[in-house]
Protein backbone atom coordinates (compact mmCIF):
# COMPACT_ATOMS: atom_id res chain seq x y z
CA UNK A 1 0.00 0.00 0.00
CA UNK A 2 1.37 3.41 -0.94
CA UNK A 3 1.59 6.09 1.73
CA UNK A 4 0.41 9.70 1.35
CA UNK A 5 0.86 12.48 3.93
CA UNK A 6 -1.53 15.41 3.58
CA UNK A 7 -1.02 18.59 5.61
CA UNK A 8 -4.01 20.80 6.44
CA UNK A 9 -6.42 17.90 6.02
CA UNK A 10 -8.89 18.74 8.80
CA UNK A 11 -11.13 20.72 6.41
CA UNK A 12 -11.64 21.77 2.80
CA UNK A 13 -9.49 20.50 -0.05
CA UNK A 14 -7.13 18.52 2.22
CA UNK A 15 -10.02 16.72 3.93
CA UNK A 16 -11.69 15.76 0.63
CA UNK A 17 -8.34 14.67 -0.84
CA UNK A 18 -7.64 12.44 2.18
CA UNK A 19 -11.02 10.72 1.67
CA UNK A 20 -10.29 10.25 -2.03
CA UNK A 21 -6.90 8.59 -1.46
CA UNK A 22 -8.29 6.39 1.33
CA UNK A 23 -11.14 5.24 -0.93
CA UNK A 24 -8.50 4.30 -3.51
CA UNK A 25 -6.63 2.04 -1.13
CA UNK A 26 -3.78 4.27 -0.04
CA UNK A 27 -2.48 4.48 3.51
CA UNK A 28 -3.32 8.06 4.45
CA UNK A 29 -1.77 10.29 7.11
CA UNK A 30 -3.55 13.55 7.87
CA UNK A 31 -2.16 16.54 9.76
CA UNK A 32 -3.30 19.94 10.93
CA UNK A 33 -2.50 22.28 13.81
CA UNK A 34 -5.75 21.95 15.76
CA UNK A 35 -6.01 18.53 17.43
CA UNK A 36 -9.78 18.65 18.01
CA UNK A 37 -10.52 19.54 14.39
CA UNK A 38 -8.08 16.85 13.25
CA UNK A 39 -9.65 14.10 15.39
CA UNK A 40 -13.11 15.10 14.27
CA UNK A 41 -11.98 14.95 10.63
CA UNK A 42 -10.45 11.51 11.15
CA UNK A 43 -13.69 10.17 12.66
CA UNK A 44 -15.79 11.69 9.88
CA UNK A 45 -13.63 10.12 7.18
CA UNK A 46 -13.50 6.69 8.85
CA UNK A 47 -17.28 6.40 9.31
CA UNK A 48 -17.79 6.11 5.56
CA UNK A 49 -14.69 4.17 4.58
CA UNK A 50 -13.98 0.45 4.43
CA UNK A 51 -10.21 1.17 4.28
CA UNK A 52 -9.21 1.92 7.89
CA UNK A 53 -5.56 2.80 7.12
CA UNK A 54 -5.99 6.41 8.21
CA UNK A 55 -3.62 7.96 10.75
CA UNK A 56 -3.51 11.46 12.19
CA UNK A 57 -0.55 13.46 13.48
CA UNK A 58 -1.10 16.92 14.92
CA UNK A 59 1.46 19.20 13.30
CA UNK A 60 1.68 22.98 13.17
CA UNK A 61 3.75 23.48 10.03
CA UNK A 62 5.01 26.86 11.24
CA UNK A 63 6.91 25.08 14.03
CA UNK A 64 10.12 23.65 12.54
CA UNK A 65 10.82 21.20 15.39
CA UNK A 66 7.25 19.90 15.33
CA UNK A 67 7.43 19.33 11.56
CA UNK A 68 10.73 17.47 11.88
CA UNK A 69 9.45 15.25 14.73
CA UNK A 70 6.17 14.55 12.91
CA UNK A 71 7.80 13.45 9.67
CA UNK A 72 10.37 11.29 11.49
CA UNK A 73 7.59 9.71 13.57
CA UNK A 74 5.54 8.96 10.44
CA UNK A 75 8.52 7.26 8.77
CA UNK A 76 9.19 5.22 11.94
CA UNK A 77 5.58 4.35 12.86
CA UNK A 78 3.83 3.97 9.49
CA UNK A 79 6.52 3.61 6.81
CA UNK A 80 8.12 5.60 3.97
CA UNK A 81 6.03 8.48 2.67
CA UNK A 82 5.65 8.05 -1.12
CA UNK A 83 3.63 11.19 -1.68
CA UNK A 84 3.44 14.37 0.42
CA UNK A 85 0.68 16.85 -0.40
CA UNK A 86 1.72 20.12 1.24
CA UNK A 87 -1.71 21.67 1.36
CA UNK A 88 -1.85 23.45 4.76
CA UNK A 89 -2.13 27.20 4.53
CA UNK A 90 -3.62 30.19 6.25
CA UNK A 91 -5.76 32.62 4.29
CA UNK A 92 -6.37 36.21 5.26
CA UNK A 93 -7.02 39.01 2.76
CA UNK A 94 -5.57 42.48 3.47
CA UNK A 95 -8.62 44.09 5.07
CA UNK A 96 -9.76 47.34 3.39
CA UNK A 97 -6.58 47.22 1.31
CA UNK A 98 -4.62 48.30 4.43
CA UNK A 99 -0.98 47.28 4.75
CA UNK A 100 -0.65 45.07 7.84
CA UNK A 101 2.80 43.72 8.60
CA UNK A 102 1.25 41.28 11.12
CA UNK A 103 -0.81 39.72 8.34
CA UNK A 104 2.26 39.46 6.08
CA UNK A 105 4.31 37.84 8.85
CA UNK A 106 1.58 35.36 9.81
CA UNK A 107 1.06 34.23 6.21
CA UNK A 108 4.80 34.03 5.51
CA UNK A 109 5.31 31.95 8.69
CA UNK A 110 2.61 29.41 7.85
CA UNK A 111 2.43 29.27 4.06
CA UNK A 112 6.01 29.90 3.05
CA UNK A 113 8.21 28.94 5.99
CA UNK A 114 5.87 26.13 7.05
CA UNK A 115 6.00 24.53 3.61
CA UNK A 116 9.79 24.92 3.53
CA UNK A 117 10.08 23.13 6.91
CA UNK A 118 8.08 20.20 5.49
CA UNK A 119 10.25 20.05 2.37
CA UNK A 120 13.46 20.24 4.43
CA UNK A 121 12.78 17.02 6.30
CA UNK A 122 11.01 15.22 3.44
CA UNK A 123 14.03 15.63 1.17
CA UNK A 124 16.20 14.17 3.93
CA UNK A 125 13.99 11.13 4.53
CA UNK A 126 12.33 10.33 1.17
CA UNK A 127 13.63 7.48 -0.96
CA UNK A 128 14.93 8.09 -4.49
CA UNK A 129 12.67 7.06 -7.40
CA UNK A 130 9.63 6.36 -5.19
CA UNK A 131 8.80 9.80 -3.90
CA UNK A 132 6.75 12.79 -4.91
CA UNK A 133 6.20 16.16 -3.21
CA UNK A 134 3.16 18.22 -4.29
CA UNK A 135 2.73 21.81 -3.11
CA UNK A 136 -0.75 23.31 -3.15
CA UNK A 137 -0.12 26.81 -4.46
CA UNK A 138 -2.73 29.12 -6.01
CA UNK A 139 -3.25 31.07 -9.23
CA UNK A 140 -3.38 34.11 -6.91
CA UNK A 141 0.38 33.69 -7.08
CA UNK A 142 0.42 34.14 -10.88
CA UNK A 143 0.15 37.95 -10.64
CA UNK A 144 -0.55 40.69 -8.07
CA UNK A 145 -4.23 41.15 -7.13
CA UNK A 146 -5.99 43.72 -4.91
CA UNK A 147 -6.18 42.77 -1.17
CA UNK A 148 -4.05 39.68 -1.86
CA UNK A 149 -0.59 41.17 -1.25
CA UNK A 150 0.26 38.93 1.70
CA UNK A 151 -1.42 35.68 0.58
CA UNK A 152 -0.39 36.18 -3.06
CA UNK A 153 3.22 36.82 -2.07
CA UNK A 154 3.36 33.45 -0.28
CA UNK A 155 1.71 31.60 -3.17
CA UNK A 156 3.87 33.19 -5.88
CA UNK A 157 6.88 32.32 -3.72
CA UNK A 158 5.73 28.70 -3.59
CA UNK A 159 5.21 28.52 -7.36
CA UNK A 160 8.72 29.86 -7.88
CA UNK A 161 10.05 27.43 -5.27
CA UNK A 162 8.37 24.50 -7.02
CA UNK A 163 9.88 25.50 -10.36
CA UNK A 164 13.31 25.80 -8.83
CA UNK A 165 13.04 22.48 -6.98
CA UNK A 166 11.98 20.80 -10.21
CA UNK A 167 15.58 21.19 -11.36
CA UNK A 168 17.28 20.58 -8.02
CA UNK A 169 15.32 17.46 -7.05
CA UNK A 170 15.96 15.80 -10.40
CA UNK A 171 19.38 14.90 -9.04
CA UNK A 172 17.80 13.20 -6.03
CA UNK A 173 15.18 11.55 -8.26
CA UNK A 174 12.30 13.00 -6.22
CA UNK A 175 9.32 14.28 -8.23
CA UNK A 176 7.81 17.68 -7.48
CA UNK A 177 4.47 19.15 -8.56
CA UNK A 178 2.48 22.28 -7.90
CA UNK A 179 -1.31 22.26 -7.66
CA UNK A 180 -3.24 25.36 -8.70
CA UNK A 181 -6.97 25.20 -7.90
CA UNK A 182 -9.40 27.90 -9.00
CA UNK A 183 -12.06 29.00 -6.49
CA UNK A 184 -13.09 26.08 -4.27
CA UNK A 185 -15.86 26.36 -1.69
CA UNK A 186 -14.14 25.94 1.73
CA UNK A 187 -13.78 27.65 5.13
CA UNK A 188 -11.13 29.91 3.58
CA UNK A 189 -13.18 31.17 0.66
CA UNK A 190 -16.10 31.96 3.05
CA UNK A 191 -13.98 35.02 3.90
CA UNK A 192 -14.28 36.36 0.33
CA UNK A 193 -16.85 39.10 -0.06
CA UNK A 194 -16.64 39.16 -3.89
CA UNK A 195 -18.34 36.77 -6.28
CA UNK A 196 -16.13 33.83 -7.21
CA UNK A 197 -16.38 32.69 -10.84
CA UNK A 198 -16.31 28.95 -11.63
CA UNK A 199 -16.64 28.09 -7.91
CA UNK A 200 -16.25 24.31 -7.38
CA UNK A 201 -16.58 21.88 -4.47
CA UNK A 202 -13.75 20.32 -2.43
CA UNK A 203 -14.73 16.93 -3.86
CA UNK A 204 -14.20 18.28 -7.39
CA UNK A 205 -10.74 19.48 -6.32
CA UNK A 206 -9.94 16.15 -4.65
CA UNK A 207 -10.83 14.20 -7.82
CA UNK A 208 -8.58 16.43 -9.93
CA UNK A 209 -5.74 16.20 -7.42
CA UNK A 210 -6.00 12.41 -7.18
CA UNK A 211 -6.07 11.99 -10.96
CA UNK A 212 -3.25 14.48 -11.45
CA UNK A 213 -0.95 12.91 -8.89
CA UNK A 214 -1.57 9.25 -9.65
CA UNK A 215 -1.55 9.42 -13.46
CA UNK A 216 1.34 10.28 -15.78
CA UNK A 217 3.67 12.74 -14.03
CA UNK A 218 2.77 16.41 -14.49
CA UNK A 219 4.57 19.38 -12.96
CA UNK A 220 1.45 21.56 -12.72
CA UNK A 221 -2.02 20.30 -11.90
CA UNK A 222 -4.66 22.98 -12.44
CA UNK A 223 -8.45 23.12 -12.48
CA UNK A 224 -11.07 24.02 -13.55
CA UNK A 225 -9.18 24.17 -16.82
CA UNK A 226 -11.15 26.93 -18.59
CA UNK A 227 -10.81 29.41 -15.69
CA UNK A 228 -7.14 28.57 -15.22
CA UNK A 229 -6.36 28.98 -18.92
CA UNK A 230 -7.94 32.45 -18.72
CA UNK A 231 -5.73 33.26 -15.72
CA UNK A 232 -2.67 31.94 -17.54
CA UNK A 233 -3.42 34.28 -20.45
CA UNK A 234 -3.75 37.18 -17.94
CA UNK A 235 -0.27 36.24 -16.75
CA UNK A 236 1.32 37.29 -20.02
CA UNK A 237 -0.65 40.50 -20.64
CA UNK A 238 1.29 43.79 -20.55
CA UNK A 239 0.89 45.67 -17.22
CA UNK A 240 -1.27 48.43 -18.73
CA UNK A 241 -3.92 45.98 -19.98
CA UNK A 242 -3.63 43.71 -16.91
CA UNK A 243 -4.14 46.59 -14.41
CA UNK A 244 -7.04 47.97 -16.44
CA UNK A 245 -8.87 44.63 -16.62
CA UNK A 246 -8.35 43.72 -12.95
CA UNK A 247 -9.48 47.18 -11.73
CA UNK A 248 -12.55 46.98 -13.95
CA UNK A 249 -13.45 43.45 -12.81
CA UNK A 250 -12.80 43.93 -9.07
CA UNK A 251 -13.74 47.64 -8.88
CA UNK A 252 -10.69 48.10 -6.61
N1 LIG B 1 -10.26 27.25 -1.56
C2 LIG B 1 -9.74 27.82 -2.65
O3 LIG B 1 -10.45 28.46 -3.46
C4 LIG B 1 -8.28 27.69 -2.94
C5 LIG B 1 -7.80 28.14 -4.18
C6 LIG B 1 -6.45 28.03 -4.46
C7 LIG B 1 -5.60 27.45 -3.54
N8 LIG B 1 -6.07 27.02 -2.33
C9 LIG B 1 -5.14 26.39 -1.41
O10 LIG B 1 -5.64 25.11 -1.07
C11 LIG B 1 -5.15 24.74 0.22
C12 LIG B 1 -6.30 24.29 1.10
O13 LIG B 1 -7.17 25.41 1.29
P14 LIG B 1 -8.71 25.26 1.70
O15 LIG B 1 -9.45 26.24 0.87
O16 LIG B 1 -9.11 23.83 1.72
O17 LIG B 1 -8.67 25.89 3.17
P18 LIG B 1 -9.23 25.44 4.58
O19 LIG B 1 -10.49 24.66 4.48
O20 LIG B 1 -9.23 26.68 5.38
O21 LIG B 1 -8.10 24.44 5.11
C22 LIG B 1 -6.85 24.86 5.54
C23 LIG B 1 -6.21 23.71 6.30
O24 LIG B 1 -4.90 24.11 6.72
C25 LIG B 1 -4.75 23.84 8.12
N26 LIG B 1 -3.80 24.76 8.69
C27 LIG B 1 -3.89 26.11 8.82
N28 LIG B 1 -2.80 26.58 9.46
C29 LIG B 1 -2.00 25.50 9.72
C30 LIG B 1 -0.75 25.34 10.36
N31 LIG B 1 -0.08 26.37 10.86
N32 LIG B 1 -0.23 24.09 10.43
C33 LIG B 1 -0.90 23.03 9.93
N34 LIG B 1 -2.09 23.12 9.34
C35 LIG B 1 -2.63 24.35 9.24
C36 LIG B 1 -6.16 23.96 8.69
O37 LIG B 1 -6.35 23.18 9.87
P38 LIG B 1 -6.05 23.66 11.38
O39 LIG B 1 -6.82 24.91 11.59
O40 LIG B 1 -6.50 22.51 12.21
O41 LIG B 1 -4.58 23.84 11.48
C42 LIG B 1 -6.98 23.33 7.56
O43 LIG B 1 -6.96 21.92 7.70
C44 LIG B 1 -4.39 25.95 0.73
O45 LIG B 1 -3.03 25.80 0.45
C46 LIG B 1 -4.95 27.10 -0.09
O47 LIG B 1 -4.06 28.18 -0.18
C48 LIG B 1 -7.40 27.12 -2.01
Digit-coded pLDDT (tens) for 76-128: 999 999 999 999 999 998 888 899 999 999 999 999 999 999 999 999 999 88
Categorize the per-residue pLDDT at 129 as very low, low, confident or very high, splitting at 50, 70 and 90: confident
The CA distance from 158 to 66, in Å, is 21
Q: Whose CA is nearest to atom 34 of ligand 1?
A: 32
Nearest atom (ligand 1) to Cα of 88: 24
Rounded to the nearest 10 degrees, how much is the dihedral formed by the CA atoms of 106, 114, 23, 80? -170
- Mutation choice for ligand 1 from 188, 209, 223, CB with most ligand atoms inside 8 A: 188
What are the tens digits of pLDDT across the range 176-227?
Answer: 999 999 999 999 999 888 889 999 999 999 999 999 999 999 999 999 999 9
Question: What percent of the chain stands above pLDDT 90?
Answer: 92
What integer is the mean pLDDT of 2-26? 98
Q: Is the pLDDT of residue 130 over 90?
A: no
pLDDT computed for residue 198 by the predictor = 97
How many whole angstroms from 171 Cα to the centroid of ligand 1? 30
Question: Taking Cα atoms as reference points, which of 144, 151, 141 lies closest to residue 180?
Answer: 141
pLDDT value at position 219?
98
Q: Could you write out the three-class secondary structure of the chain? A: CCEEEEECCCCHHHHHHHHHHHHCCCEEEEEECCHHHHHHHHHHHHHCCCCCCEEEEECCCCCHHHHHHHHHHHHHHCCCCCEEEECCCCCCCCHHHCCCHHHHHHHHHHHHHHHHHHHHHHHHHCCCCCEEEEEECCHHHCCCCCCCHHHHHHHHHHHHHHHHHHHHCCCCCEEEEEEEECCECCCCHHHCCCCCCCCECHHHHHHHHHHHHHCCCCCEEEECHHHHHHHHHHHCCCHHHHHHHHHHHHCC
Mean pLDDT of the chain: 96
What's the CATH number for 3-250? 3.40.50.720
Per-residue confidence (pLDDT) for residue 97, from 0 to 100: 82
Parse the chain into domains and list their residue ranges.
3-250
Residues with CB under 6 A from ligand 1: 7-14, 32-34, 37-38, 60-62, 87-91, 110, 114, 136, 138, 181, 183-184, 186-189
Assign 34 a pLDDT band (cuts: 50, 70, 90): very high
Do residues 235 and 143 touch, judged by C-beta distance below 8 A? yes
The alpha carbon of 50 is separated from its chain's Cα centroid by a whole number of angstroms, namely: 26
| pTM for the predicted model, two decimal places | 0.98
Residue 20's pLDDT band, with cuts at 50, 70 and 90, is: very high
Amino acid sequence: MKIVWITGASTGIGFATAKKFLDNNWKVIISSSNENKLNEAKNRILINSSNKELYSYKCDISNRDQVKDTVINIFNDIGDINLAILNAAAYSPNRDQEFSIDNYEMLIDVNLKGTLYCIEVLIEKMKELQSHIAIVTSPVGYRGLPTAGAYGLTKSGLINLGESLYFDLKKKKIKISIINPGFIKTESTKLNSFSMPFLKSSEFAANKIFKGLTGTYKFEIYFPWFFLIMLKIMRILPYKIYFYLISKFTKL
